[in-house]
Each structure stands twice: as C-alpha cells, then as structure tokens.
Amino acid sequence: MSALFRLNGSGNIQNLLSYALRNTSRSISNSPKNRVTAATISDTIGKHAKTETNVSSGKPWMSYGFNHKDKTTDRDALYSTFFFSITLCIVWGTFIWSYLPDTQLRDWAQREGFLELRRREQAGLDLISPNYVDPATIELPTDDELANTEIII
C-alpha cells in the first residue's frame, strides 16, 4: 500500500496538480451568455510536454507508485503485484491451507474417542473407568507421614 502513496524527489502529483491549476482558468465576462468562458494557456506547457497522456481521454498519466518515469513498467508492476498477492497468495493459499492433511492428528483422536465410547456403551461398561490406574500400584503416605498437613478435597 505504501507504494501507492510514495513519491520520489520529482513530486509527480504536485507537478500534475500545479499544471492542471495553471492551465485552466476562467475569466469573468460581460457576455449575456452564461456558458461562454475564455481560457488562457500558460507558457509552462513546454515544461510538462514530455509527460505521457492517456490516449482515450487526453488526461496526463498518473503513476501508481511503482515507476514514476515509464507508464508501461508502472502498469506491469501493478498488474503483477496484484496477480501474485491476490491470485496466488490469497486464493491459492486459502485453497491449499483448507485442504491440507491433518498433521496434528486431531481428527484421528476424536474418531478414536467416539469409537471407544461406543464400544464401552455396547459392552455395558462405565464410560470412564474409576480404576483407570490399578489401585494396587499406587503408594499413598501413611497418617504418621502426613501428620498435621491440611488435606483439601
């Protein structure tokens, strides 16, 4: 985006605005016709004669900020930038990202969990076994070892 607002030392936008303001002027006349105006042409036209103009409308060419000297290079840079950023990055990037395989195996773990729940329901078992860890393998401290330790349940 900053390329759209970037100006090099020549100040193309300022030259364009000053050219447009100096070369179009309206005079006050005493003519009974309201739409009759007199226009004067400034002698600064020679200074701006080298600027490219839009053939279809005759307007001076305004850069998109990629190249301030050549119109075709500026347009080519604009079109290629939008092609790569919109088409390749956003469109194809979103397509590839949405169809990537499940590398973290989240879907697999969820499917296995549902299959295990269905198996336990059909077998008539608890959904989660209260003796998940065998109580015989757990060593708990005795009352003497706990002494005055507060136990919060």
Please give the average per-residue pLDDT across 65-78, as a whole number.
92
Q: Answer with the residue of higher pLDDT: 20 or 7.
A: 20
pLDDT at 128: 86
On the question of pLDDT at 1 being above 50, the answer is no
**Confidence at 13, pLDDT banded by 50, 70, 90:** low
On the question of pLDDT at 78 being above 70, the answer is yes
Q: Which of 21, 14, 19 is nearest to 63 (CA)?
A: 14
pLDDT at 106: 82
**pLDDT for 34-54, tens place per residue?**
665 555 555 545 444 455 555
pLDDT at 30: 64
Please give the average per-residue pLDDT across 80-97, as a whole number.
91
Alpha-carbon distance of 98 to 91, in angstroms, equals 11
**pLDDT for 93-120, tens place per residue?**
999 988 888 888 888 999 999 999 999 9
pLDDT at 41: 58
Instruction: Please write down the long-range contacts of 40-46, taking CB distance under 8 Å and 24 or more positions apart.
Output: 44/19
